[in-house]
């Protein structure tokens, strides 16, 4: 357990919270900048107008024509959970809105690379689709769009990644990053995940196809119900680690409510079952840590088509079969990841032993010849968390080839895509391709350029990150009174989210007397901790064996949690940091 400084958030007192809102939750909301007014306007009806999404009008016109003329439409997705849910959402939603000749494709990572590539366009079976709809990709697909249009296909790009200096020559581009920065309604959509962009596109298309019903000017034809797709939106949004701003929190919360009420799709129900999660108690954390990795594993090691088939299935038995296969692939991914992370940590330990911590690059680049390109992002994530600095992990794109595929993860204050753009400007041609956003990005480069890339990436990181930005710390929501350690408070916090990126799950810090401690699972600590003036509490500290032996009194950063065992819920502290008091 890496030691970090615990910093308390400033206490913010705000009046006017609803009388039935737990006071501890009101305190947490206020510390996150949420106000009673914003809380009151957190329903689906309070979402921004789909018409404010950049490019949506042109895209809807093309889709309306394709549906009216019964043209074949191909949805081209991406091989991560956001791309998989966006693909399933597009197919399901377009079917609801009248499209009949629908197909979908996800590129093979080794053969066709990322997104809408010329190789993928060439592989599309005859007769070729009249219209390609990209989801969660395409904003940098200049060559792929050109190849599609050369074959007589029209292309709608829907993406949420940051655009480069030029845009592909698509027939329509839907991307919230291109919205007018002076338009508040457009700005409120900028944090949408790829699946969120598709959901807004479907809302806009429904309004176009059903104008009387959408405008409230009479009953007209029955309007297709799109709210039934929100479980997909919630899963993709959480799994992609986008900021949970007001718009995304509304979308995720609505999706979670559908799942808890038993109205999830067969695929998501099956994934929850194989993950051992109770749908009635599901939270954003379950989507992020249990379902998302199972979907992602298919794209990392096998074929993301397995994940999409699961999400598209309406047959519970078939969905269960797909979900079990995804769990098996995920187990393989976990074993591979453990080996690769151990290698990476060994590299870092060897470097520190030889050179000392002061010599550690501000921007760390790692490479191993036998690493799997689909898992390097997870290695970068783990090392970023341990070192608290941006990390790029690279692996051969294909066995025996000279091209490397890198995955980058960042810390607050260091915008990855901008940093890669600066490296590209300094050294034109060094990076073959790159894309992403602030906290995560991907790139390809030749093996021969790796050392130069590592030096340039570190130079950019040193210029943009000062010593203060590299300090390791964790935010606390302060101390709990002894009478706040109770089931009602834990229940309010559990379902008070959704918590995630940009809307951090509440954690607190207190001093405790250590009554007992034992090792479980070979590397975790099971504790009994007594707060001042209160009763002893169960606590669990994962991967904390290095904290032994503990002093009699400790300061602990923790989350107030409910542990379910044999159908019973009990209060439990999830320990994030342990320090001597």
pLDDT tens figures, 522-560:
889 999 999 999 999 999 999 888 887 899 999 999 999
Q: What is the pLDDT of residues 237-283, one digit of tens each?
A: 999 989 999 999 999 999 999 999 999 999 999 999 999 999 999 99
How much is the average pLDDT of 298-319? 94
Q: What is the pLDDT of residues 193-214, one digit of tens each?
A: 999 999 999 999 999 998 864 4
| Predicted pLDDT at 435 | 86
pLDDT, one tens digit per residue, over 135-192 is 999 999 999 999 999 999 999 999 999 898 999 999 999 999 999 999 999 999 999 9
120-130: pLDDT as tens digits: 999 997 788 99
Tell me the percentage of the chain whose pLDDT exceeds 90.
Answer: 84
> What proportion of the chain, given as a percentage, has pLDDT over 70?
98
pLDDT of 218: 47
Sheet containing 431-436, strands listed edge to edge, beginning at the edge strand earlier in sequence: 364-367, 391-396, 403-409, 440-446, 431-436
pLDDT at position 381: 95
Residue in the structure block whose two tokens are 């041609």: 429
Q: What is the mean pLDDT of residues 550-578?
A: 92
The residues, ordered by sequence, that sit 6+ positions from 343 with a Cβ below 8 Å of its Cβ are 368, 371
pLDDT value, residue 522? 87
Mean pLDDT of the chain: 93
For residue 348, what pLDDT is reported?
96
Please report the pLDDT score of residue 2 as a whole number.
67
pTM of the predicted protein model: 0.92
Q: Distance (Å, rounded) from C-alpha 473 to C-alpha 317?
A: 46
pLDDT at 210: 87
**How many alpha carbons fall within 13 Å on the CB side of residue 109?**
25
Report how far apart, in Å, the C-alpha atoms of 144 and of each of 108, 111, 119, 273 are: 15, 14, 8, 39
Structure confidence at residue 198 (pLDDT)? 98
Tokens of 384: 């970023």
What local confidence, expressed as pLDDT, does residue 360 receive? 95
* pLDDT tens column, 369-396: 999 999 999 999 999 999 999 999 999 9
What confidence tens digit (pLDDT) does each residue in 230-244 have? 999 999 999 998 999
What number of CA atoms fall less than 13 Å from residue 431's CA on the CB side? 25
Measured CA to CA, the distance from residue 151 to residue 123 in angstroms comes to 12
Closest CA to 272 of 316, 228, 230: 316
Confidence grade of residue 438 (pLDDT, cut at 50, 70, 90): confident
Of the candidate ranges 53-57, 111-115, 318-322, the one whose mean pLDDT is the lowest: 111-115
Residues 5-44 pLDDT 10s: 999 999 888 889 999 999 999 999 999 999 999 998 889 9
Q: Is the pLDDT of residue 564 over 50?
A: yes
- Distance, CA of 515 to CA of 527 (rounded, Å): 8
DSSP-derived letter for residue 500 is B
Does residue 256 have a cis peptide bond before it, meaning omega lies within 30 degrees of 0? no
| Residue 113 confidence class, pLDDT cut points 50, 70, 90 | confident
pLDDT of residue 109 exceeding 90 = no
- Residue 530 CA to residue 119 CA, distance in Å, equals 62
Domains and CATH numbers, the chain: 5-40+474-580 (2.40.50.460), 44-263 (3.90.1640.30), 361-470 (3.10.310.30)
Two tokens, residue 523 = 């590397």
Q: Give first-to-last CA distance, the chain, whole Å.
A: 17
Calpha distance 487→163 (Å, rounded): 47
Model pLDDT, residue 1: 61
Whether the predicted pLDDT of 224 surpasses 80: yes
The DSSP symbol for 528 reads E
b/e code 265-301 from CB counts within 10 Å (16+ = b): bbbbbbbbbbbebebeebbbbbbbebbbbbbbbbbbb
- pLDDT average, residue stretch 455-463: 97
Residue 580's H or E segment, with its range, is strand 568-580
Burial of residue 404 (number of CB atoms within 10 Å: 0-12, 13-18, 19+): buried
pLDDT value, residue 221: 63
Cβ atoms of 164 and 417 within 8 Å: the answer is: no
Residue 232: closest CA among 224, 240, 244: 240
Beta strand 431-436 with 440-446 is: antiparallel
């Amino acid at each position: 357990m890496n030691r970090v400084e615990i910093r308390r958030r400033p206490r913010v007192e705000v009046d006017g919270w609803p009388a039935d809102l737990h006071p501890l939750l009101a305190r947490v909301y206020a510390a996150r900048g949420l106000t009673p007014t914003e809380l009151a306007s957190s329903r689906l009806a309070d979402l921004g107008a789909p018409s404010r999404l950049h490019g949506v009008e042109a895209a809807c016109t093309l889709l309306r024509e394709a549906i009216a003329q019964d043209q074949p439409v191909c949805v081209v997705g991406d091989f991560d959970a956001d791309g998989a849910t966006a693909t399933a959402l597009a197919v399901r939603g377009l079917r609801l809105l009248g499209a009949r000749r629908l197909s979908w494709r996800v590129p093979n990572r080794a053969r066709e690379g990322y997104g809408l590539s010329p190789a993928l366009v060439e592989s599309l079976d005859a007769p070729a689709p009249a219209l390609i709809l990209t989801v969660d990709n395409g904003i940098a697909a200049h060559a792929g769009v050109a190849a599609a249009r050369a074959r007589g296909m029209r292309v709608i790009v829907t993406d949420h990644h940051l655009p480069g200096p030029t845009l592909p020559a698509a027939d329509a581009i839907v991307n919230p990053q291109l919205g007018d920065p002076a338009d508040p309604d457009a700005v409120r959509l900028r944090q949408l995940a790829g699946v969120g962009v598709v959901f807004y596109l479907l809302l806009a298309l429904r309004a176009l196809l059903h104008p009387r019903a959408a405008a409230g000017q009479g009953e007209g034809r029955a309007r297709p119900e799109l709210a039934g797709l929100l479980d997909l939106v919630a899963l993709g949004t959480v799994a992609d680690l986008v900021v949970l701003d007001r718009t995304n929190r509304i979308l995720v919360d609505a999706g979670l409510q559908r799942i808890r009420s038993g109205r999830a799709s067969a695929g998501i129900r099956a994934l929850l079952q194989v993950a051992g999660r109770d749908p009635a108690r599901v939270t954003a954390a379950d989507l992020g840590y249990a379902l998302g990795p199972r979907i992602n594993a298919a794209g990392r090691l096998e074929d993301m088509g397995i994940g999409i088939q699961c999400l598209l299935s309406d047959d519970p038995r078939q969905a269960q079969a797909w979900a079990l296969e995804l769990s098996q692939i995920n187990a393989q991914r976990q074993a591979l990841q453990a080996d690769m992370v151990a290698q990476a940590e060994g590299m870092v330990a060897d470097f520190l032993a030889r050179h000392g911590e002061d010599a550690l690059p501000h921007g760390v680049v790692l490479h191993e010849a036998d690493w799997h390109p689909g898992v390097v992002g997870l290695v970068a994530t783990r090392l970023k968390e341990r070192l608290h600095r941006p990390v790029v992990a690279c692996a051969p794109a294909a066995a025996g080839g000279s091209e490397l595929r890198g995955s980058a993860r960042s810390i607050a204050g260091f915008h990855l895509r901008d940093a890669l753009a600066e490296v590209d400007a300094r050294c034109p041609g060094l990076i073959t391709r790159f894309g992403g956003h602030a906290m995560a990005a991907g790139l390809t480069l030749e093996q021969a350029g790796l050392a130069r890339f590592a030096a340039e990436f570190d130079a950019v990181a040193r210029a943009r990150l000062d010593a203060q930005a590299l300090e390791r710390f964790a935010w606390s929501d302060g101390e709990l009174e002894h009478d706040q350690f109770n089931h009602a408070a834990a229940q309010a916090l559990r379902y008070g989210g959704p918590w995630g990126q940009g809307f951090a799950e509440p954690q607190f810090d207190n001093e405790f007397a250590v009554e007992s401690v034992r090792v479980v699972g070979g590397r975790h600590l099971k504790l009994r901790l007594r707060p001042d003036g209160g009763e002893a509490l169960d606590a669990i500290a994962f991967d904390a064996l290095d904290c032994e032996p503990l002093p009699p009194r400790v300061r602990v950063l923790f989350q107030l949690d409910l542990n379910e065992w044999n159908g019973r819920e009990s209060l439990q502290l999830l320990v994030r940091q342990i320090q001597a008091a």
